[in-house]
Amino acid sequence: AQVITVPFSTYKTGVFTYDRESGCYLVEEYGKPYVDGNTGEQVGVTNVVVIRTSCTVIPGDTEGRLNVDLISGGDGWYACGGKIIPIRWSKADRSSQFIYTAADGSPVQFGRGASYVNIIPTKNDITVE
């Protein structure tokens, strides 16, 4: 998983490019590097999580705000160290933490460092190069 492309919507796509030297995925949004406002450097993360869930426009909302289901659980992907695996995610209730498991049901072991969690609609799919 050298490059992971995550389509959030028709106008926003995240791109995570693995940098072997740092062991991080460098983040891009809107076709440009995602830059840390404090350091001016491109953001790099050790762990990339993508979860898919129901995302619907709130009925009657003229601003297009979304209702995002973060309780029902679902599928997704986890990337670290240039590798990616399919995962399942769950959450007991609104106040609980996310639980991520591999296909065999074992807990996902995160790498030490920063994480970027992407939440995308169930109809969207990532591409991996």
pLDDT in tens, 93-125: 999 999 999 999 999 999 999 999 999 999 999
Query: What is the CB-side half-sphere exposure of residue 42 using CA atoms within 13 A?
Result: 16
User: Closest Cα to residue 71, out of 102, 99, 94, 97?
Assistant: 94
Residue 27 CA to residue 64 CA, distance in Å, equals: 26
Average pLDDT over residues 80-99: 97
Average pLDDT over residues 56-74: 95
Strands (DSSP E) along 1-129, which ranges? 3-7, 13-19, 24-29, 32-33, 44-45, 47-53, 55-57, 66-68, 74-80, 83-90, 99-102, 115-121, 127-128
Dihedral angle of Cα 30, 34, 40, 46, to the nearest 10 degrees: -170
Q: Is residue 46 scored above 90 in pLDDT?
A: yes
Average pLDDT over residues 2-9: 96
State the pLDDT at residue 11.
84
Whole-number average pLDDT of the chain: 96
Question: Which of 5-14, 34-43, 71-80, 99-108 has the weakest average pLDDT?
Answer: 5-14
Q: Is residue 83 scored above 90 in pLDDT?
A: yes
Q: What percentage of residues in the chain have a pLDDT greater than 90?
A: 96
Average pLDDT over residues 31-55: 97
8 Å CB contact between 118 and 45: no
State the pLDDT at residue 10.
84
